[in-house]
Structure 1
Amino acid sequence: MISVRRILVVLGVAFTAYLAARGLWWTAPVNNPTVVIVTLCLYLFTTWLCIWWDPGPAHGPRGPGALPVWACVLALANAVIVPSAIAVGVGAASRTAGFATWYLGGIGALMTIVMVRRRPWVAWAGIVALAIASMAWLGIVSALALGLVGSAVWVAVAQVLMLSMDRAASDTARLAQLQRAASAWQAAQTVRQRERRVQVQRALAVAGPVLSRTVAAGGRLSDEDRAEARLAEGSLRDELRGARLLDDEVRAELERARRRGAHVTMLDEGGLEHLDDAALAVVRGELAETLREAQSERLFIRTSPHASVAVTVVGRSGAGQALSDEDAVDLWREIEHPAQD
């Protein structure tokens, strides 16, 4: 499959090869062809190395990775050596010819590649070295007219594009994070709505018959109806205050305790959020067993923030009314957190 990166790589290789080929299109004699050819080979080796070198995994969302330091040093060496070597190799009479000034665009292309490979300071240092060398051999006006300005513009445009790409990648990542957060929030709201619907349906199932009889009787309830109303009220309080502790078995034991005359208070004060369904089932089973054996007149069931205790069940009987009245406490049970894999 042809990717954008592969197309850009091919274009980069083709363009730098074209610039180097201009250096071999001699329209006049050159003093030292060997120096020119070796310099062209050095340039192509360095440029293509900077294009192809990628020792790591696939490129990230922000584009190609940074060049290694040794490659940056080699690119800077080209910016320093190539202009002088070409100027010496072609001779003074041909220094402004097209085949002798190719390095103005060639080094500019190399520094553009270095910029794309996330070495901006190296790229601008190379442009400065190119400017100094070309002005020294060609003169300020000739260097500017023959391509030095264009090379600097290429590097500047590459830097702007990289900054824009980085900002776009950052915005995309932030948008993806916001989308994930919004999806999580929506999922949580859906779960809460489902839980509320279940609680409302259960409340209607518990309180609906009692309310219907109350309306039908015009508020004149028998003792049995009043007892059923108190049971319904207690069940609704349990659903609102301690839903995580409830299952069918616990609900049945709570109803049994209330029918024998016990006053039951249940509070979920946190501490069970990290338990999975299996662990909650173990806690509920122990709670149901504790309620089945309890004979206290008042039962207090509370979740515990303690690291090892999940639920505390306190039973009180007799005349004592204060929680600090130890003589009135006839049941104390701490249900520990079940071990989880």
Structure 2
Amino acid sequence: MITVSRGVLVTLAALFSAYHVVLGITSMSAYRHPAPVIVAIALYAAATALSLARPSRIVLPAWVAAFDLAVCIAVPVLVVSQLDLARENGYATWYVAAIGTLMTIVMVRRRNVFAWIGIAFLVVHTLVVAGFAALGALGVIGSVVWVAAAAVVTRALGSMARDASRFARAERQVVEWHAEQEAHVVERQRRLDETYQRAAPMLIRIVESGGMLTEDERAECLLLEAGMRDEIRGRALLDDGVREQVLAARRRGANVVLLDDGGLDGLDEQELRRIHARLAEALRGSRADKLVVRTVQTGSTVAVTVVGLRSSAPDAVAGDRVGPRDALAATSAESEGADDEVELWLEIPRHEDAEAETSKGAGL
């Protein structure tokens, strides 16, 4: 597709407008007095210069459009007052094409009302001073056609620009949707692969034993199920060190819940490694019966909160008295009983230079 730069169009419009000025100057002998015509030429030149200024701004300033309309009214009055329209005046009627050109520029620069008023005044003025036949003889019809063509082309270009914008927006949405779907597929496949690698040995053992598992193997199945649940709910909270400490806590009988609500999205690898190391250290040092690890929404200086609760119930005072099977079968680690006490409270900051971590509880 052939495209023309805005600068080229402005240059062509300026040359065409200058042509009318030259015609007016060279036709001075046809006027009774040159002074009013000189004023008309100056007004037209000034209006054209203002209308073509700042081409990067499509919409013409309202005051410039109003000035152009005033010039459109003044120029025919000044020029015709010095002509005898009963005879052939040749290029002395340059003002007709000049006004048509000026109103075309106004129309192209999105000031439709001013352009239509201006060209309508030219038609009415010509009818009053020269009659209906002069519309064709002086070229008024041609000026009206220019303005009308400019209106049609401008509307068509505006519609094309809007359609192009909608198509571009739709294309971006399709690309984003496609990328999102691909990301979902890749993530789902990765999780399936990880789940298979972790669950395959136990599934083979279940098949080989015909479902007759020992108590230890059943406990391992529960631990495996909890680990797979962590991969879904914990997401960015997990790395190998955190997984190891979570498994160790569950083996000693603790109930551990990991919840990632997207609070770690956008952090770089270095910050994530620091958070994972601090989380693994906290889990290693805690003897709580219930541990809840949760991300904090973006915008907060805190990235992760860790809450550890110790139950004062007789059957759960010592961690080694509660097996993994009993702990994993609990309804929820987030429910706090009346006798639960806080054993661990830790806030891991989002950035390394953030406010110092607040922690309290035994073992920290």
Amino acid at match of 2:257: M
Residue identity over aligned pairs, in percent, reads 34
Distance 1:302 1:29 in 2: 91
CA distance in 2, matches of 1:156, 1:324: 78
RMSD, aligned CA? 3.3
Deviation at 1:211, TM superposition (A): 0.9
79 and 226 in structure 1: CA distance in 2 versus 1, 3 angstrom threshold: same
3-state DSSP class of the match of 1:105?
Answer: helix
Corresponding position of 1:210:
202
Matched, 1:258 2:258: no
In structure 2, give the amino acid aligned to 1:71. Answer: V
* Structure 2 residue aligned with 1:46: 47
Deviation at 1:202, TM superposition (A): 1.7
| Aligned residue type for 1:335 | E
Give the C-alpha shift of residue 276 in structure 1: 1.3
Gaps (5+ residues) in structure 2? 317-329, 354-364
Amino acid at match of 1:8: L
1:30-64 alpha-carbon deviations (Å, 9 max, x no partner): 4234544553454344324423x11xxx72xxxx5
Q: Report SS of the residue matched to 1:89.
A: coil
Cα distance, 1:326 vs structure 2: 3.7
Q: Which residue of the partner structure matches residue 305 of structure 2?
A: 311
Matched, 1:7 2:8: yes
Larger displacement relative to structure 2 (114-123 or 169-178): 169-178
State whether residues 22 and 102 of structure 1, in contact with CA within 8 Å, keep that contact through their aligned partners in structure 2: yes
Aligned length in residues: 330
Please identify, of 107-116 and 308-317, the stretch whose mean Cα deviation from structure 2 is larger.
308-317
Give the 3 Å change call, closer, same or farther, for CA 246–163 of structure 1 in structure 2. same
Which structure 1 residue ranges, 5 or more long, are not aligned?
A: none
The more displaced of 250-259 and 292-301 is: 292-301
Deviations 1:183-228 (A, max 9, x none): 3333333333332222222211211111122222222334443333
Q: Relative to structure 2, which stretch is displaced further, 26-35 or 284-293? A: 26-35
Q: Which of 76, 80, 83 is the aligned partner of 1:83?
A: 76
**Shift in Å, 1:292:** 0.9
Aligned 8 A contact 1:242 1:268 in 2: yes
Give the Å deviation of 1:246: 0.9
For the residue of structure 1 that corresponds to 2:81, the secondary structure is helix
| Correspondence for 1:32 | 33
Distance 1:131 1:237, change over 3 A: same
Output the CA distance in 2 between the equivalents of 1:297 and 1:29.
Answer: 108
CA displacement, residues 97-154 of structure 1 (integer Å, 9 cap, x when unaligned): 3323332222111110111122222212211322232222212342355322322222
Question: In structure 2, what is the equivalent of residue 117 of structure 1?
Answer: 109
1:98 aligns with 2:90: yes
CA offset digits 1:39-97 (Å, max 9, x no partner): 3454344324423x11xxx72xxxx5233445334422321222222222233543x53
SS state of the match for residue 335, structure 1?
A: strand
User: Helix, strand or coil for the counterpart of 2:309?
Assistant: strand
Give me the whole-angstrom Cα distance separating, in 1, the residues matched to 2:97 and 2:67: 18
TM-score, normalised by the number of residues in structure 1: 0.81
